[in-house]
Amino acid sequence: MRGRGFSAPALLLSDQLLRTGTYRLACDPMVKDFYKNLLDNLSDAVYFVDKDRSIQYWNKGAEVLTGYEASEIVGRRCFDNLLMHVDHGGVNMCKHLCPLAKSMARCKLQEGEIFLRHRDGHRIPVLVKATPVQDESGEVIGAVEVFQDNSSKVAITQRIAELQKMALLDPLTELGNRRYIEAHLQGALDQMRRYGWPCGLLFVDLDHFKEINDIHGHEVGDRALRMVARTLLNTARSFDFVGRWGGEEFVVVLVNVGDEDRLVSIAERVRVLLGASSLRSGSSRVRLTVSMGAALAHEDDSLDSLITKADELMYHSKRTGRNRVTTRLDASLD
C-alpha cells in the first residue's frame, strides 16, 4: 500500500505496525512505552479508535495540528463532532462518511482529502489515511488514522485556479479574453464539423469610444465597457459565449444558431438593447451605440477566417454609418 505525501514512518505504521503494534500497545505493557515514544515523535498526526470509535490514543503530532491536547480528546468518540470533518463540498463526514468507520467495515485502507476544524475554529485541509487494526486472530478491534496538513497543496491548487482565471479573463469586464474566445470558438467549430451544430460569430464595436474617453474621462469609458459587457451577457442565450476581444471590441460566439435570419435576429436584439442603454456622467447621460459584424460559420471556415470575416463585416458597419449590423459586405441593417 502507498500513501500520498506521508512520511516513511507514518507509512510503516499504517502498513505494518498498526496491524500488530496497536494490539500489543493495548495488551503488552513491556512494549507500551516503546510504541508510544515512537508515535509521539512522528511529525504526522496519529490517533487510534476502538470498535465503537472511542478515541484511545492521540499523539503529539495530532495535538500540534488540531490544537486539541490528548486530555481533551481521549475517551471522546470521533463522531462527537469535535473535529467536524467535512469534505470539499462542506458535507459532514462524521456520521456516514467517516474514513475510520469505512476502514473497519471494509477491512481495508481508506484515503481522502478532507477539512477538519481546529480548536480555534478555522478549517484545516488534511490528507487522511485510515487503516483497520486487527488482533492476532484477525478480528478488527479498531482503526488508526494518520493525517497531515494539506494546506500547501490546497494553496497551490487555488493559486493555479487564480492564475488560470487571470490568463483567461479580462480584468475590467470579467469576460473571457481573446485567448479564451479563440479556445471557445475553436470548440464551436469542431462541434459544427462533428455533429452538424451550426455556429456563428458577432463582432461588436462600441461607437465613438475615443470621444467618450476624451470628453467624459477614462473612468466613464471603463463604465461604458462594463455596461456593454453586462448587456451582452444579459441578452445572449445561456449557451452562447461572450468575450472581450480588446479595447472597445467584444465578441459573441453563437452556437446552434440555425440560419442567417436567426443570426440577424439575435444581432439586432443586441444592437437595439445596447442602443437603449446609457450611463450618467455628471449632469448628462452618455448614450451608447454599437457597430456589428455577424457571420455564420461554414464547413471550410477556420478560426482565423471566421474571425476575419466577422471583423470585416463590423468595419463595414462603421464605415457605412455605425449603429448597424452587417451580415454581407453588400448589405447592412440599421
Residues annotated as part of the active site: 248
- Cα gap 59→229, rounded to integer Å: 56
C-alpha cell at 147: 493525517
Q: Please choose, from the candidates 50, 4, 7, 42, the residue with its C-alpha nearest in 3D space to the C-alpha of residue 25.
A: 50
Asked whether the beta carbons of 334 and 326 are under 8 A apart, the reply is no
Asked whether the beta carbons of 325 and 333 are under 8 A apart, the reply is yes
Asked whether the beta carbons of 316 and 309 are under 8 A apart, the reply is no
C-alpha cell at 83: 473535529
Beta strands per DSSP E along the chain: 45-50, 55-58, 110-117, 123-134, 140-149, 199-206, 241-246, 249-255, 278-281, 284-287, 290-296, 325-328, 331-333
**Residue 60: helix, strand or coil by DSSP?**
helix
Own/partner long-range contacts of 81-85 (Cβ < 8 Å, ≥24 apart): 82/117, 83/116, 83/117, 84/116, 84/117, 85/114, 85/115, 85/116
Do the strands 325-328 and 331-333 form a parallel or antiparallel pair, or are they unpaired? antiparallel
Beta strands per DSSP E along 83-171: 110-117, 123-134, 140-149
